[in-house]
Amino acid sequence: MSTHLIAICVLALMFVIATALPINMGVIAFVGAFLVGTLVAGMQAKGIMAGFPAELFLTLVGITFLFAQAQNNGTIDWLVRLAVRAVGGRIAAIPWVMFAVTALLTSVGAVSPAAVAIIAPIALGFAAKYHINPLMMGLMVIHGAQGGGFSPISIYGGITNKVVNEAGLPISELTTAFVSLGFNFAVSLLLFFVFGGMKLMRQQVPKAAAGRSDPIGPFGATVAVAAQGPQIYGDAENEAASEERLTRERSSAAVGAIGTPGGAGAGAAAGVALNEGATIQQIVTVAGLVALAVLTLLYKLDIGFVAISIGLLISLMSPQVQKRAIGQVSWPEIMLIVGVSTYVGVMQKMGTITWVGDSVASLTSPLVVALLLLFVGAIVSAFASSTAVLGSLIPLAVPFLQAGTGVDPIGFIAAMAVASTIVDVSPFSTNGALVLASAQHIDRDVFLRQLMIYGGIVTLVAPVVVWLLFVVL
């Protein structure tokens, strides 16, 4: 067996092990990079470490550190309450508020599982209170998170754009971002009407309830609030069980804390405003998030350094929040991403990537190859981590796109972005597991089966649809 085949087989084995066992794929990837690099390719340790993505590491640490502080000081809760109250009691608007808020969070840098973990308990609480289909509400949250996930300053967008730029391929960052947003919005619109949207449009919260100023629910509803304390980050390989347990515990604790006099005092002490106003910390945090978007988009400053700098300014106002936020940095997600990236770096130095591209280019039908790559991305991501798929499959497709096969790189990258992330509705993927964990007011077994069926349909249909729209046409 050639060294290239060994490297590819080891990569496939990583996905199998990480899917079957509760082991972070990044840890497996680091070991794989060491073993393949030294035993197969004859590389030195320094050569292996040269593939470590230092810039991406800093970006992930900076962004997750900043958003951990935004959650701890109550900024995220405050923004969500304002957004929901702004609908003026129109029940049909609630699912779209959840879609928009999660899309906004991921578009400005929040890790997708973090956004879902924050919003899903609130969304499903509203679903139980106002008889909104819980499957539709949960899916709106996930599709919102994935819809905003490819903005130029987002995690997914940063990974994809970095890989493509380093390969020297043409890319339109905004095309990828708007394709992801548009496709997820179209799917959400279909779900809205399939699961009772027309009925919701004829309903409205009673004026007495809509006018109440309830710290738990902006329509006077006793609902689950956004997750407080340590954020839920992670991947499907090693976090699904603990995510479910922690989400339930934190949501219950948050409701209990706000519902008791002692709890209200504790929340206020932590800097979380339980009324309609905002604390100074929350206002500064919102200004910081706006500054992050402006400085990175308009002035092209490094997003990792900017995020950490803004996080430091917020930390000076509340050192205790900063102390907790350091522990809430998305270390499992970061380990996964940088581990896979390091292994891909070893494959690049071995020439495996070029070898795969040359092999694919020899096939008679480039369009069929493109479709197969999209299916691989969707199937693997449905059971593992989308970040791992983006970090490994896009580099494998680069030589194929460079070989003059006639496949448009911009369209293919956009299609791969959608196919590899929209399947996170699967209950075996991170976001699907988080929504399932948040379903406290309904039959969880039924909800699990619904997510499995919908996830299977999306996994089989989405690659074909994006292939037709963005590769063939």
The string of pLDDT tens digits covering residues 231-266 is 443 443 333 334 334 434 444 443 333 333 333 333
pLDDT at 375 over 80: yes
Torsion over CA: 258, 264, 269, 271 (sign): positive
Of 342, 338, 300, 329, nearest to 56 (Cα)? 338
What share of residues in the chain are helix, strand, coil (percent, to 5)? 75, 0, 25
How many folded domains does the chain comprise?
A: 1
At 391, list the tokens.
């970090």
The residue count of the chain comes to 473
Is residue 435 within 8 Å of residue 124, measured between CB atoms? yes
Judged by average pLDDT, the poorest of 8-12, 94-98, 356-360 is 356-360
Of 3, 25, 48, nearest to 384 (Cα)? 25
Q: What is the pLDDT of residue 336?
A: 79
Q: Is residue 260 part of a domain?
A: no
Q: Is residue 227 part of a domain?
A: no
Q: What is the pLDDT of residue 266?
A: 35
Q: Is residue 211 part of a domain?
A: no
Alpha carbon distance 110, 313 (integer Å) = 19
pLDDT at 386 over 50: yes
Band of pLDDT at residue 276, cut at 50, 70 and 90: low
**How far does CA 441 lie from the centroid of its chain?**
25
Q: What is the mean pLDDT of residues 458-471?
A: 93
**How far does CA 431 lie from the centroid of its chain?**
7
Whose structure tokens read 């689950």?
A: 224
| pLDDT over 70 percentage in the chain | 79
List, for residues 188-206, the tens digit of each pLDDT value.
999 999 998 888 888 766 5
Note down the domain range covering 32. 3-202+278-472
Better pLDDT: 252 or 372 = 372
**What 3-state DSSP class applies to 133?**
coil
Q: Is residue 354 part of a domain?
A: yes
For residue 41, the surrounding DSSP H or E stretch is: none
Is residue 330 within 8 Å of residue 232, measured between CB atoms? no
Alpha carbon distance 417, 391 (integer Å) = 11
Q: Is residue 38 part of a domain?
A: yes
List, for residues 32-49, the tens digit of each pLDDT value.
999 999 999 999 999 999
Q: Is residue 259 part of a domain?
A: no
The DSSP letter of residue 423 is G
Alpha carbon distance 235, 213 (integer Å) = 37
Q: Is residue 137 part of a domain?
A: yes
Q: Is residue 14 part of a domain?
A: yes
